[in-house]
A and B are shown apart, each in its own frame.
Chain A
Amino acid sequence: MTTLQILGSGCANCVRLAHNTEAAAKELGMEFTIEKVTDIQAIVRAGVMKTPALVVDGRVKLYGRVPNVDELKTILA
């Protein structure tokens, strides 16, 4: 089971990243949970200065941009 987290205040980019990430994980046939982390202190603790960020199993994999589904698949794979 992979834990996916989207860090961000909930702006349009965060929603897009969550959407694309979910689509990528589904296409890969992953078993996963996805949650949005909007708590600013948690975002800061992760060292993220630019939102949105993608955290996979507790590791920051990407921040500050919204890649397309294909690129997210290579990041998740």
Chain B
Amino acid sequence: MAIQVSTACEMKTGKQRKGLQKSAFRSALLICLGLVAWWHIYRRLSAFADWFAFSVLHCSPSTRLGSAVQFMVYESPKVLMLLVLVVFGVGIVRSFFTPQRTRAMLAGTRESVGNVLAALLGVVTPFCSCSAVPLFIGFVTTGVPLGVTFSFLIAAPMINEVALVLLFGLFGWKVAAIYAGTGLMIAMIAGWIIGRLKMEHYVEPWVYEAQMSDGMDEDAKLTWAERIHLGREAVRDIVGKVWPYVLVGIAVGAGIHGYVPQNFMAHIMGKGAWWSVPLAVLIGIPMYSNAAGIIPIVQALLQKGAALGTVLAFMMSVIGLSFPETIILRKVLRPQLIAAFIGVVAVGILIVGYLFNLLM
């Protein structure tokens, strides 16, 4: 059966639109109130955790248990609150970047500029690995160069709001900025190299013959109330999925604090061991996890003396290069191109790992 594409935004009747405008006012008001409340709660979290751990539970700040409890009671709501705020904000921002718009922006740019733009757009365009194939086809059949498409496909999973919030909340803004900056560089440069390798003929031939219609672009006509609704939906979906990982990550951080020797990992994953970075990448590639799932491990490794570069390389290869995604991409790419993709990105991650072990 042929599938038509509706062009008009026919989801909403006039009556519904009026109702949505009214509720836009209400939601804007609620958001302002929410932000004020958020800020007042957030800045009191530390004091609350002290009071709860030391006065209510009568733990002593100087004991292992006391500091572990304080850590847990402070970090859990802190990270979850940051997550809710950022996921909500990103959900609204993303409602402006549909795949159609992103594609239109990329189809008209030169290759080098395109790689930079594609990596940046990869961060804000909503994307999940199950959409990798239709998205890939949609991009390359409308004139987005292969290398530029790869810049997008590399950046989109690797740099996402959940990873950044968790890195910021648990390790500070410097680690988060380093991760985002180097991740973007890898996506830009790896995509550019793949473009230079001229591997277009390693794309399965049927891809270029595929006829993709323009598709509907209902998102472009969204009202504010609907964008806010999408933000709330993102919070429900994403925070609802990742919160157990976050709590486990924080519990690991709190729990191992006093019980595992401080430099347990130092001789295996410390700066001195040159082979630790390639090993971390090799272990990371077949592993598949979302950003939230990997955080407990990152937390444990860093606290026990593993070097930052090694840990970042591990995290990037786990969430940026995933085995399931390459299997999905095999539908549209020949093995040679998949190998080039994994190879180029893995080398990029290795360089980042070594660079930070040298610098920090």
Contact = CB atoms under 8 A, between A and B. Distances in A.
B143 interface: no
A65 B230 contact: yes
Contacts of B211: 44-45
Interface in A24-44: 40-44
Interface string A33-75: 0000000111111111111000100111111111100000011
Contact of A13 (B2, B16, B130, B233): B130
A11 B210 contact: no
B103 A11 contact: no
Interface string B217-253: 0100000000000100100010000000000000000
A49 B138 contact: yes
Contact size range, A: 20 to 34
Given A50-B134, A51-B130, A64-B131, A9 B328 contact: yes
A55 to B, nearest CB: 5
A15 B63 CA distance: 49
B265 to A, nearest CB: 34
Given A40-B331, A42-B3, A8 B130 contact: yes
A5 interface: yes
B216 interface: yes
A45 B3 contact: yes
A3 interface: yes
B130 A47 contact: no
Given A58-B3, A74-B16, A75-B11, A50 B127 contact: yes
B249 to A, nearest CB: 22
A1 B218 CA distance: 25
A51 B191 CA distance: 24
Contact of B6 (A13, A48, A60, A67): A60
Nearest to A10: B130
A66 B133 CA distance: 19
A53 B128 CA distance: 13
A74 B213 CA distance: 26
Given A8-B130, A44-B134, A65-B233, A50 B4 contact: no
A40 B1 contact: no
A5 B230 CA distance: 23
B27 interface: no
Contacts of A14: 130
Given A5-B3, A58-B1, A47 B213 contact: yes
B95 to A, nearest CB: 10
A60 B134 contact: no
B137 interface: yes
Nearest to B207: A44
A67 B11 CA distance: 13
Given A11-B130, A46-B213, A65-B233, A58 B4 contact: yes
Interface string B1-37: 1111110000100001000000000000000000000
Interface in B82-118: 99-100, 103
B103 A45 contact: no
Contacts of A47: 5, 138, 212-216
Given A45-B211, A48-B134, A75-B11, 6 more contacts: A3-B1, A9-B130, A13-B128, A58-B3, A60-B4, A64-B126
Interface of A: 3, 5, 7-9, 11, 13-14, 40-51, 55, 58-67, 74-75
Interface of B: 1-6, 11, 16, 99-100, 103, 126-128, 130-131, 133-135, 137-138, 206, 210-216, 218, 230, 233, 237, 328, 331
